Amino acid sequence: MSKTAFVFPGQGAQSVGMGKDAYEAYEVSRNVFEQANEALGFSLTDLIFEGPDEQLKQTANTQPALLTVSVALLRALDGKGLKADYVAGHSLGEYSALVAAGVISFEDAVRTVRARGEFMEQAVPGGIGAMAAVLGAERDVLGKLCASITAEGHAVELANMNCPGQIVVSGTAAGVQAVVERGKEEAGAKRVLPLEVSGPFHSSLMKPAAEKLGAVLEGVSMNDAAIPVVANVTASTVTEAAQIRSLLVEQVYSPVLWEDSVRYLIEQGVDTFVEIGSGSVLAGLIKKIDKNLRIISINSVSAIDSLEL
């Protein structure tokens, strides 16, 4: 029997104006934007629709903005009769998945990811940390190179296992620069591309942010998941609120096992992936994992209107 997973994008998928058509077309979507403004105490909606881009790109703004757009599109999709057997999200996107699974209210989620973004920005002073996308290297070989650079005194780790041939590394600026310089020769990389990010996300340098987030999450009400959630940290399903809470803390400084998560879902019989949110980053990654899957991007009103079940 065919199964469906709803998946939600993370940082990097944002763009000024995202979700505006849904805001204008659907009352349920408009309500989500208004709830975000109220929960945060400022007009996140104005920032999403009008920018400026530099401000939207700030982690503390990007995270609640992407969550809001994903949930606004999810609410618009609710009336279409499409149901998920599983949910998952890439890094920040895991919070959208948790809203979809009934684990956390949208208002609590938007306040939490705002704080998460602030903690991640504060964890490492600007210029100290960095990230880079490594294309064409094997995971094990790249992991060994990162371990040897770390042993030389410049911490760098595997951060995102996105799809075959695309791994993101994260750590100190010097550690990431060493991967840029040595990746081709020592790990067989085709290219190493430094990323425009405000910190070394999903590395052990984020542990101070994780501790602060843990304190915030203690005060957030959570339910057991109504739909199984595939966690970034384990690439397997989790449904118990207590376990979800602790995995969200770990997630800040642990690798995002995205490729593993998609393969796990395929093993569970999922053959349709519905990406809900800005852009189509995850659709591209999932295609590279298995090109035979049905992949639907719900990123606009026209995508919802043309949906065929």
| Location of structure tokens 């890439």 | 90
Active site residue 91: yes
The helix (run of H) or strand (run of E) holding residue 158 is strand 156-163
Residue in the block written with tokens 């990811």: 113
Give the C-alpha distances (Å, rounded to integers) separating 260 from 74, 161, 225, 240.
24, 8, 21, 21
The answer to whether 91 and 11 are in contact (CB under 8 A) is yes
Q: Report, in angstroms and rounded to the nearest whole number, the Rg of the chain calculated over CA atoms.
A: 19
236 is known as an active-site residue: no
Alpha helices, H only, the chain: 20-25, 27-40, 44-50, 53-56, 59-78, 93-100, 106-123, 139-151, 173-187, 207-218, 241-251, 258-267, 281-289, 301-305
Q: Which of 70, 202, 254, 297 is catalytic?
A: 202
Residues 167, 27: Cα–Cα separation, whole Å: 39
Candidates 29, 91, 170, 280; catalytic one: 91
Q: How many CA atoms lie within 13 A of 264 on its CB side?
A: 19
The token pair at 232 is 């970034």
Beta bridge partners of 132: 169, 194
Tokens 């938007």: give the residue: 110
**What is the number of alpha carbons within 13 Å of residue 215 lying toward its C-beta?**
7
- Cβ neighbours of residue 20 under 8 Å, at least 6 residues apart? 48, 49
- In this structure, is the dihedral angle defined by the CA atoms of residues 164, 169, 179 and 156, taken in order, positive or negative? negative
Q: Which residues are catalytic?
A: 91, 202
